[in-house]
Structure 1
Amino acid sequence: MKTIKYLACFFLVVTGACISSCTKEDDYKEITKDGEIYYPGKADSVAANGGNSRIQLQIHLGNDPLVTKVKAFWNNHADSVVGNVVKTTGNDVVELLIDNLSQGTYSFDVYTYTSDNAKSIVKKATGMAYGDNYLKALTNRTIKAISYAQDGSKVFIDWNEAADGEKSIELKYTDEAGATQTMIVPVGTMKTEVTGYRSDTKLTYRSIYLPEPHAIDEFSIGYTEVALPLFERQLSKSKFSQYVLPTDARDAWGWLMSYLWNEDYGTPGFATTNGIPQWFTFDMGESVSISRFKTWQASDRIYRAESVKKFEIWGSNNPASDGSWTGWEKLVDCQSVKPSGLPLGETTAGDIDYAKAGEEFKFPAGTPKVRYIRIKVLETWGNGSFITMGELSFWTSDRITE
């Protein structure tokens, strides 16, 4: 009895296995009735490189020789782009450029295909398209300071820190011939030198951004414009020397003309013999167009006695040896002021501070270049019969060309 039961069970198992086997075979035959299924080799890698309202897909293929095209889908497969594969001896790369994208993140499904449209399994990639919102967030790098080399041969631009994504700075300036020159300032640069520039012009610049390391487009906003500050250098007093002409006033009282440029703002200064008006001459050691001048009164007689009040500054490159005014040109008229306006003998602390800081006089634009200076004194603060001065300094916008 038990034997019959076991045989019956065995028969049922074998019968079921045969039925199942036949069903699978029938299914396989149905699936492969047009030939075996073939999946082409999928892409090895896909890079989605962002750009300005576009994305470039860089598709690196494997070594499947039957792949003839690639196709990328996005927007839930509602949009697609296709590219043909051109075979080479190496690993092939197909680049697909997708334009007219709104700013945002995009997901791509990439497939390879054979000539008979056999399709690979999917390779996914994600990329970002950039647009107006990204541009609105960009700013040009700011400048911390602009300065000059002492001889005026270079402009130094000190930059503030760069924002994330800045690749470079495009800097434009006007050269000495009047032509526009362009410099590319590398990323991370904190100080830039500009040579051969033209005075009284402007710098224009803009930051160039790369939103991601392999972005296909650079981004920038409008140029920032910065006026170059006026270049000035103080004339070296080490080159100054007395240049006595026959009609000039002479040193007196042990107060020598050389004390006018010794950088000692105390006493003694420079004093002359009697006689108003009077003049004296010195050599600056180089011919320049003077931009401004400062004078200091003798510290022991501020707004008093022989301190110079009203005077003229004349210049020459070839003064007449007889002491006449031949070859001289008046450069500027000067008159010292007392801030308080108080009468002779009365001063305020503000008056004293003003005088001790040095009184500045500007020269007109286009003042001719001169080497020799003649100061003609017309009046003193105390109507003295001779003059005293403490110190002199001169500046020029001329660059050193030697």
Structure 2
Amino acid sequence: MKNKKLRTIPLLVALAAVLFSCTKDKNYNEPASNDKTKPGVVTNIRVENFNGGAHIIYTLPNSPNLLYVMAGYEIRKGVKRETKASYYTDTITVQGFATAGEYQVTLEAVSRANIKSDPVQVTVHPLDPYYKLSAATIQLSADFGGVNVKAQNPNKRSFGYILLELDPVTNEYGIVEQHYDAGEHVNFSVRGYNTEARRFGAYIRDEWGNTSDTVFAQISPLFETQLNKSLFFKYALPSDTEIGYGWDLPYLWDGKTDGYSNGWHTNPGGSYPMVCTFGLGVYAKLSRFVLYNRPLQFAYSHGNPRKFSLWGTDKVSPQNAVLPAYSDEGTVVGDWVNLGNFIFPDPPSGLMPGATNASDEAFVAAGVNFNIPLVSPKTRYIRLNVAETWSGGDFAHAMEITFFGDPD
């Protein structure tokens, strides 16, 4: 009986602790301090300006109830921002300014009881914001079936690149594409147009809603059509990878992408690069292609290509050449030239390969579009050159490939 009472006492203590903590939590919205003393001001201020913003360094006031320092400022006319920095640091960063120039920043120290110090005015001179630097490099040019947009973004900031088209009826510009990119070299195309000349514009929007000036251009899209697969033919070369399981090369353009039919499949035991060669039946300037990797349970696994290149030639009867796994676009090996290097996109879900979900499988099943560089030459033959598969194994496969361009 005595032991039973001893065991009960710790339980009562624990219960009391829980009840006490719950009572305290009820008041979490109350000021953290009842000290209504106004905190002192920040002193010894200096400014380090950068593109689109500034670091403000200061000495904190000797106020025991200090919680944070707040900066209030206007990034463009009528748009105000507030930034806070805790009492653990002596620096606050203000950013998002629309242009280079002179801006006033108000600094206030704030106590745990939400009492503000007297304001201190600081002048900052941010340099040209990054979005303006990128906007100065925008180039609009004709692409197959549409318009191509290029820009440089050396600081790899995340921007929205907005493409506009002039409506000939209303004579007003409307948004036709909003492309978000944080890459160093921005390059995207919008297609679906005939060859009629059109007026396009492009500008940049940053994360604070600042927008650049618009770059305009008159564009006549290049002619584009899907190449006729009935003209394709197998053109086996000695350095092609041995095909296995009866998945002969013509299955790569038979129009079947369901994952239950055959495609192109090499025998296990191969080494990189894994290569197949075929003729287009025409002499064509290629614009893009759609690759259908093997779907269903094979999506992002097995022998599906992850890194690969296309090689082409203008020769009527091209000779064999051993291709490298990796090379720069434009590299020439024998009769063959590298038309472009490509990487299959990562799973859209963000999951790791091998743990993908149904949306990732649907993405693979729908086929993925790849643009061929405009500088790539016309070609009569194609060599698909797989440098890496999603499993890293000793074989490769794909279900279907569809080409677009101008067959002249």
Q: TM-score range by the shorter chain?
A: 0.3 to 0.5
TM-score, normalization by structure 2 = 0.42
Give 1 or 2 for the bigger CA radius of gyration.
1
